[in-house]
Chain A
């Protein structure tokens, strides 16, 4: 069942066209990540759904309620959209205790006192905050504050919960734990979640689908696998994962395969765009697809090692290809000098 539909949404601020016709939908029990670099319009899209920004045209429907429609000038105020929202800074009210923070939404809904107490305590208990009801936000750790913010957004059982970079204020270790339990929680509660993030790893780990924005336009939307393995544009390919980038010209294109020819090298790859012969093109290779090879062969190059870095669980190698750096991983340190590396043709995406 579709809980949230956004159709062709446009947002302008002054002369600045921030969101240029974004559409998406969100089903019950599903987590969709809004991914993109800063300034791509992902937060604006989220805030428009909440009613905190004012779109210029388009349509937003939550469940069966039209909350915004540019054509018929429907604009439902924020407070009656009945959404949950977790702010990046958590926005816990410092003058209220944890209990009062969480209870506020129920108070506004005129819930009886006894029910408020039981529901707040239940949600605090579920999030492992059972003992902290009497504390003030400043007495909590970052991770606890984040869970209070979540409890406050969930306690009145919204159909849709909106999360604005919910994990960005946690330190790296805590963030990885938090994204696991956050995903589990949302699936358990069977609600729809829209989550803004600028971290592609977090987006892939947490969500069922990813919507990647760039300059106010949706570049590509799909499951994490689709986004990572079959990017439709150079931008998407580069944004997902860590990559090597090669510049050259396309030659002898046959079907969807072609040769990319650079200064003293030629590699076979997949054509992801239409290219004429001799046309300049850029190829993207995921760093993990660059492999060491034992000798010459197809799609192999002999390259000097610039340096190798010890990362703990792996070694990162940096090779030099006529001024372009190529990076790859391996289990062992490499001695200085020239080494053979292989880039499989299926992993070289020519845009």
Chain B
């Protein structure tokens, strides 16, 4: 292990510990027949036996599979098409569309789904308007089909992110070479363009598929009224099901979810490695010719607009609208229902104020600290290729396979299991640690894409000139990626503002954040508070987006 210093090994060891300790605890708990803190417990497969015999578990699994497949079928073609329209054609309004498209990535699904309920739910304002217009509401927002459709449409941007960066790096020259060789435009698309972006499409399909198994907020809000359970909501409901802490059952369900998603995450990483060969194939310079759409231009614009209307404007306008009215229904006018009370009542409750303050803190301070940690990890493995770093590369992917809800649960147990850590459980530190580990893969991707832009000879030259490895990091590498690091901080801020499921089990006095408060208030039926907190959450994310747009921070690569 030459050329790795003690501090680098320490960083790697701590990271590996933060990843494997909670998962190890989940695994251990799943093989017990009682919660780990009870004196009487024994090892066994009872927990698995119980859930496998539970018909609800089977239903939840099938629903999750249905959602994952449906999401893939809807979002992969639409996301790829959207990327093509945005990158390679003269679609009108491409400049301002870009940030709007990404809103579903940065706004919590809890908020979006709540927006759907108040906009197009049975008594939603849009439903009532349609009812008045045509006499009935031709949709049911709580059906399984609606859930899949909404899940699919809100994940289009995830596919767009990967397809568009692949399309961007694909220079027109390779297409022009095919055209000159005598291929028509359709043949070029089929034999050159699509095969070259195929790895990115496969990668995003894999991503959407395992995100499908992690869908929680959406299923909680839209699936609950008609009893459609998915695996994460099944786990969430287990607490109430038996009345006693059923940690072993929860752990067993958690392990089932991880078993399903982990292979996909690792497969994704494998695809990414294979995709490397296409990078070397990309044309010189990414100069791109845009394809004139002709009269299709406006049709395409209309299609994109309808998608935006359904996935972005409808739910967000719904939430904002609902936050300013006391109640809504047939025959209610805006004048009589208008109120600011939803907001004033938020500021009358200590835990909600703390929630808002904590959300800002976890985003700004926590985001900065997480960014520093990710940078240290990135530097510890930067340009080193040995057993440690290879194992590390795969390890940081593992948290992706663990949905936030489970990660929060696992960290709760870590704090309960190790008494010296217990005092930290009631502090924001516990939440910050869980957030940082859940978003580890995302953060490391941000940092390493900055690090990869530093030419190796700039660092080597500093070494030859007489700088120690630490001096190289401080004097050359970090100053060179300074702007990349600031941009990463901003991205982590937005992701931390959005996060809702990780805090659910860690929610307690002192660790309230808007995301987890939304889940718990929704469960309690406090719809006015949910709507005003949602708007505040959207505002916080908008601040991040505003800064990003103002300073030209790219929202994706």
Contacts and interface: CB of A to CB of B under 8 A. Distances in A.
Do these two chains really belong together in a complex? Answer: yes
Interface stretch (B109-117, B269-277, B455-463, B546-554): B455-463
Given A87-B457, A89-B455, A95 B479 contact: yes
Interface in A277-298: none
Contacts of B468: 77, 79
A80 interface: yes
Contact of A91 (B461, B466, B467, B471): B461
A93 interface: yes
Given A87-B460, A91-B455, A94-B480, A108 B467 contact: yes
Contacts of B455: 89, 91
B464 A83 contact: yes
B463 A52 contact: yes
B2 interface: yes
A87 B459 CA distance: 11
A108 B471 contact: yes
Is the contact region of chain A dominated by helix, strand, or loop, or is it mixed? loop
B181 interface: no
B468 to A, nearest CB: 6
Interface string A95-106: 100000000110
Given A89-B455, A91-B461, A109 B480 contact: no
A182 interface: no
Contacts, number: 68
B464 to A, nearest CB: 4
A77 B455 CA distance: 20
B475 A104 contact: yes
A80 B460 contact: no
Nearest to B465: A105
B467 A85 contact: no
Interface of A: 50-52, 54, 75, 77-85, 87-89, 91, 93-95, 104-105, 108-109, 152-153, 156, 162
Interface residues of B, number: 19
Given A54-B2, A93-B476, A94-B480, A79 B467 contact: yes
A85 B465 CA distance: 8
In the A-B complex, list the 3 residue pairs whose CB atoms are closest, starting with the nearest.
A91-B457, A91-B461, A85-B464
Nearest to A89: B457
Contacts of A75: 2
B470 to A, nearest CB: 10
Nearest to A152: B465
A29 B476 CA distance: 32
B387 to A, nearest CB: 14
- Main SS of the interface on chain B? helix
Given A54-B2, A95-B480, A105 B466 contact: yes
16 contacts: A50-B464, A51-B464, A52-B460, A79-B464, A79-B466, A79-B467, A82-B466, A84-B464, A87-B457, A93-B462, A93-B480, A94-B480, A104-B462, A108-B467, A109-B466, A153-B465
B457 A78 contact: no
A79 B471 CA distance: 10
Contacts of A95: 479-480, 482
Nearest to B466: A108
A152 to B, nearest CB: 7
Contacts of B458: 91, 93-94
A81 B457 CA distance: 17
B429 to A, nearest CB: 34
Given A50-B460, A81-B464, 12 more contacts: A51-B464, A75-B2, A77-B468, A80-B466, A85-B465, A87-B457, A91-B457, A93-B476, A94-B480, A108-B466, A153-B465, A156-B466
Contacts of A52: 460, 463-464
B461 A85 contact: yes
Nearest to A82: B466
A89 B460 CA distance: 12
Contacts of B466: 79-80, 82, 105, 108-109, 156
A54 B461 CA distance: 16
Contacts of B465: 79, 85, 104-105, 108, 152-153, 156
Interface in B321-376: none
Contacts of B475: 104
B233 to A, nearest CB: 49
B385 to A, nearest CB: 10
Contacts of B2: 54, 75
Interface in B113-148: none
Interface in B431-473: 455, 457-458, 460-468, 471
Interface in B131-170: none
Nearest to A162: B464
A95 B454 CA distance: 12
A285 to B, nearest CB: 39
Most buried by B among A52, A91, A105, A162: A91
A94 B463 CA distance: 16
A49 to B, nearest CB: 10
A81 B468 CA distance: 12
